[in-house]
Amino acid sequence: MLLSGEEESAGVASSGIPGKRVWAFDGEGPITIMVDLKKFDVSLERGFLPDTDPLRRLPSAFDAWEEVALNLPKLLMGSDLRGIVQRLPEFPVEKIADERELRRAMVCLSYIGHAYVWTGDAAQTLPSVLARPWVAVAERMGRPPILSYQSYALDNWYRFDPAGPIECGNIGLIQNFWGGADEEWFILIHVDIEFKAARAITAIPGAIAAAQSGDAASLASALTQIAESVDQMQATMERMPEWCDPYIYFHRVRPYIHGWKNNPATPNGVVYEGEFGGQPQILRGETGAQSSIVPCLDGLLGVGHENDPLKEYLMEMRTYKPPQHRAYLEWIEANSGVREFVTTRNDEGLTAVYNRCLEAVEKFRSLHLEYAAKYIFSQIQKDEKNPSQVGTGGTPFMVYLKKHRDETGAHVVGS
């Protein structure tokens, strides 16, 4: 018998999208997912990566800006980057034709903006020629005008072989600050992880539907797929040291991704000339906490966090995510009853695979913590703009990462 779930249907999973069928379930076979993932900008094959490869360069009307963005590795070694930016022509925001161009515009402006602030002594004001288009594009993207994870990683790669896989070895960065193997590899590892996470991210609606329809076997199948996906993420993360050296990362890659919140070099934030009534903006920098993968897994598995500064920070990070990804996370949290189903079912096999998911996420977080210690905390700070005790998001990251990991492990059933 085929059961189909819609918002109006009683006793089945609700999508939060009126009138949309969200899943179908064959009682004698696996769940067939019919979630309208496009509404959440989630790709069946790529997860949170864009469904179409990112645009590598804007049209000719934007050439002056593209020349600066693509030549940042050279301009940062020069002595007049800020003067060059100040003399740029107006950024023709009105000529952005589609979503791919909008995303590339945000990448271009974000990289130029961070290069402008962090070259030499930290700039306290962005010139209007840069501030105005950056704010305008950011508003259309539904995100703050600062470099965030979407522009740093999700929208910043291309394939050497367009028919080949989206994974390290066949991908390169479109946009750099300094360039070089360490910067490339650091970001590309994240792109590869996002691709590996697609199986987990797209299995979530099926897991929710199985829990709500009382089908332990199909839930176990979905959770197994999720655990395997997280294992693949782990294997990719373990490759970080291959081409990214901790010293070079800390002193050459990391300085440009800081924001202007809780950074001693920008104690009052940064003024966007001609915007926000002249009031300085205090915004966090790019950080992996802006990725939606692990928060979605937390939401599915029912991993909760205490009401403390860490939770406040995680909630704040949602405002830096693409709005559609944020909506998907909120949908998962509102609909998942997986943990409740597992803890009341008394099914050893189901409990084991649920715990396997938690343990895989905990292991992933443990490796992240290990890298944070090695690549950041243990490095010798030489510049107040690049503190080793505070993350690029402006937080006491070692405390937060340890707590995150421990809270995950505490949710193992029967521990």
Strands 171-173 and 271-272: what pairing? unpaired
Specify the 3-state DSSP secondary structure of 157: strand
Q: Is residue 127 part of a domain?
A: yes
Q: Is residue 289 part of a domain?
A: yes
Q: Is residue 21 part of a domain?
A: no
Q: Is residue 26 part of a domain?
A: no
Q: What's the pLDDT tens digit per position in 286-340?
A: 999 899 999 999 999 999 877 777 778 888 999 999 999 999 999 999 999 999 9
Q: What are residue 255's DSSP bridge partners?
A: none
CB 311, CB 403: distance < 8 Å: no
Contacts of 412 (CB under 8 A, 6+ apart): 355, 358, 359
pTM of the model: 0.87
Q: Is residue 8 part of a domain?
A: no
Q: Is residue 166 part of a domain?
A: yes
Distance (Å, whole) CA 267 – CA 356: 44
Structural domain including 246 reads 49-415
Strands 125-126 and 271-272: what pairing? parallel
Q: How many helices (H) and strands (E) does the chain have?
A: 16, 7
For residue 44, what pLDDT is reported? 93
For residue 376, what pLDDT is reported? 77
| Tokens standing for residue 293 | 């993968």
**In this structure, what are the phi and psi dihedrals at residue 43, rounded to the nearest 5 degrees?**
-95, 135
How many CB atoms sit inside 10 A of residue 291's CB?
Answer: 21
Distance (Å, whole) CA 338 – CA 176: 41
CB 251, CB 373: distance < 8 Å: no
Q: Is residue 367 part of a domain?
A: yes
As averages over each run of 10 residues, the pLDDT of the chain (415 residues) reads: 29 31 42 72 97 98 98 96 98 98 98 97 98 98 98 98 98 97 97 98 95 95 97 97 92 92 93 98 94 96 80 88 97 95 95 96 88 72 56 53 60 69
Q: What's the pLDDT tens digit per position in 41-89?
A: 999 999 999 999 999 999 999 999 999 999 999 999 999 999 999 999 9
Number of structural domains found in the chain: 1
Q: The CATH number of the domain where 399 resides is what?
A: 1.20.58.480
| Tokens standing for residue 77 | 């070694």
CB 345, CB 214: distance < 8 Å: no
Distance (Å, whole) CA 65 – CA 63: 5
Contacts of 52 (CB under 8 A, 6+ apart): 100
Q: Is residue 370 part of a domain?
A: yes
